[in-house]
Structure 1
Amino acid sequence: MDATQVQQFAVAHLRRRPAAAELGGFVAGFDPGTDSPYVNYATPLPGAEPSARDVASLVAAFRERGLLPRLEFAPEAAPAVATALRAAGFRTEAVHDYLVCTPDALSVPTAAVHVETPAGDADFAAVDAALAEAFGGAFASSAEGAARLRRTEESGGAVRFVRAPGGTGCAGGGSCSAPAAGTAELAGLGTRPAHRGRGIGAAVTAALASALFDRGASSVWLESSGPDAERVYARTGFRRAGTRLYLSLPDVGGVG
């Protein structure tokens, strides 16, 4: 799988947002239920060569909604975009590796970890709360977050989790989007600190990938947060394939 396919997926995925907007060579995905920059962001069309006016229009669409102008994309699929954004004042937030797994490479861990599909509102809320804790408070658990997880499961994606000992709450979980452009993104995988080191992350990763392969995806990809996470993913068959770039424009006066 090459960067163009990852970028085609990113475009299709943002077009699913409740309030998507096509802006020149970009697609912006907005969700009125949250102001999180990790939910509200844009991505370029593969091969896009945006003008300064295109970038200014994109920034205006974020500013008028009171949101941080922000993009996530595979730079190799749109080589001219980063230069145009940086000329407008955008700054690099992060560069992440992405890893890919195909059905023939998937390896299911042998550890006895029971992975479940959420069965109702209480389960979706428990997964959302566990992920909020797993990510160190980068976002707060909320009814809107639980509802987004439910929509993911009901729209052709998958949410999987492992219950905490005693059968109450969630020890760890994650989600994977519905397929687009032949692939799907596994995102938001996390385990509560008290339950780490027990194979939960690998078990949930394998269960999510398997579910999406069953739903027709020819590959599943995800981003690695570092060497420790990459080792977990490698145990289930994911291999490094490229990079994704995160850019944002924090200053209102950054576009000229």
Structure 2
Amino acid sequence: MDVRIQQSVVANLSHRPAPVEVGPFVIGMDPTTTSPHINYATPRPGAAITAADVTALVAAFRAADRKPRLEYVVSCAPDLEALLTAAGFVVEARHTYLLCVPDTLAAPPALDRFGLREPATDPERTALISAQNEAFGGDPVASEADVARLRRTQDAGGVAVMAVTDDGTCAGGGGAVPPTGGVSEVAGIAVRTPYRRQGLAGAITADITRRLFDRETEIAWLEASGEDSWRVYERVGYRPAGERLYIALD
């Protein structure tokens, strides 16, 4: 399973607007943003990697004026961390990823105050991104580049879901990247502060996952940022599966 997840990450980064291949690595470059959470690299699973490859990777990031950073499934490149730390990289985080398949997906209780739907217009996409930014403590303003990026994701077969109150307010949402090889990553699950503790995060996660499975995706996966979100995801059918590493060079 680790290999399928890592292969899906490689494919996702390869579909960025300006991907760069450096030996065994793929960098998912996006010229519209300098965010290291979008412009990062990952290794091809099982590839032989040398210190020279790491040096070339850093040079490619520097040439693009981007922060050298990687995310990957640890078991798919077990010797890479030592090479990276020797080159000055510092571990940001280790996360257990969770996955869900159609047989384990559980429907959460119905919501009375909210509707779940995919944003179909740029104003709706703007509302979704703004709610996510606010929930994650960032600038609530959604840029034109952010909206265009979400539109491209949807056009390519990805999923976006927004939770809307009776008066039309976007309370939160999330999404999933276009599936590749029957696998898709669910991410960005966010609920604005006034609407938390009402079951909305679980409902959003389950709805995104159901939409993926309706489109014949075989495996959905995500990462939990803490115990609360871990419990939310487990309640709708996600189960722990493997470890991913986040590591960067300042």
Name the SS for the 1:115 alignment partner.
strand
Whether the aligned pair in 2 keeps the contact of 1:152 and 1:175 (CA below 8 Å) is no
Aligned twin of 1:64 = 63
Aligned twin of 2:3 = 4
CA deviations 1:29-62 (Å, max 9, x no partner) are: 1000100001000000101232121111111111
Name the SS for the 1:58 alignment partner.
helix
After TM superposition, the structure 1 = structure 2 runs for residues 176-191 of structure 1, keeping only pairs within 5 Å, are: 176-191=176-191
State the shift of 1:111 in Å: 2.4
2:127 and 2:141 map into 1 onto residues whose CA distance is 13
State the shift of 1:164 in Å: 3.6
RMSD of Structure 2 on Structure 1 (CA): 1.3
Aligned twin of 2:225 = 225
1:147 and 1:130 map into 2 onto residues whose CA distance is 16
Q: Which amino acid is the alignment partner of residue 183 of structure 1?
A: V
2:175 and 2:43 map into 1 onto residues whose CA distance is 24
State the shift of 1:139 in Å: 8.3
What TM-score comes out, normalization by structure 2 length?
0.96
1:223 and 1:143 map into 2 onto residues whose CA distance is 27
Count of residues paired in the alignment: 248
Aligned twin of 1:201 = 201
Aligned twin of 2:16 = 17
Whether the aligned pair in 1 keeps the contact of 2:131 and 2:140 (CA below 8 Å) is no
2:60 and 2:165 map into 1 onto residues whose CA distance is 42
CA deviations 1:66-96 (Å, max 9, x no partner) are: 1110000001111121111111111100111
Name the SS for the 1:71 alignment partner.
strand
1:93 and 1:191 map into 2 onto residues whose CA distance is 24
1:153 and 1:166 map into 2 onto residues whose CA distance is 25
State the shift of 1:138 in Å: 7.5
State the shift of 1:159 in Å: 0.2
Whether the aligned pair in 2 keeps the contact of 1:164 and 1:171 (CA below 8 Å) is yes
Whether the aligned pair in 1 keeps the contact of 2:115 and 2:165 (CA below 8 Å) is no
Aligned twin of 2:213 = 213
State the shift of 1:182 in Å: 2.0
Consecutive aligned runs of 4 or more in structure 1 exceeding 3 Å deviation: none
Name the SS for the 1:231 alignment partner.
helix
Whether the aligned pair in 2 keeps the contact of 1:179 and 1:216 (CA below 8 Å) is no
Gaps of 5+ in 1: 251-256
CA deviations 1:162-189 (Å, max 9, x no partner) are: 1144113x10100101111221000111
Whether the aligned pair in 2 keeps the contact of 1:95 and 1:243 (CA below 8 Å) is yes
1:54 and 1:141 map into 2 onto residues whose CA distance is 36
Whether the aligned pair in 2 keeps the contact of 1:35 and 1:67 (CA below 8 Å) is yes
CA deviations 1:93-128 (Å, max 9, x no partner) are: 011111000001111112224211102011000011
State the shift of 1:15 in Å: 0.4
State the shift of 1:216 in Å: 1.7
Name the SS for the 2:19 alignment partner.
strand
1:139 and 1:54 map into 2 onto residues whose CA distance is 39
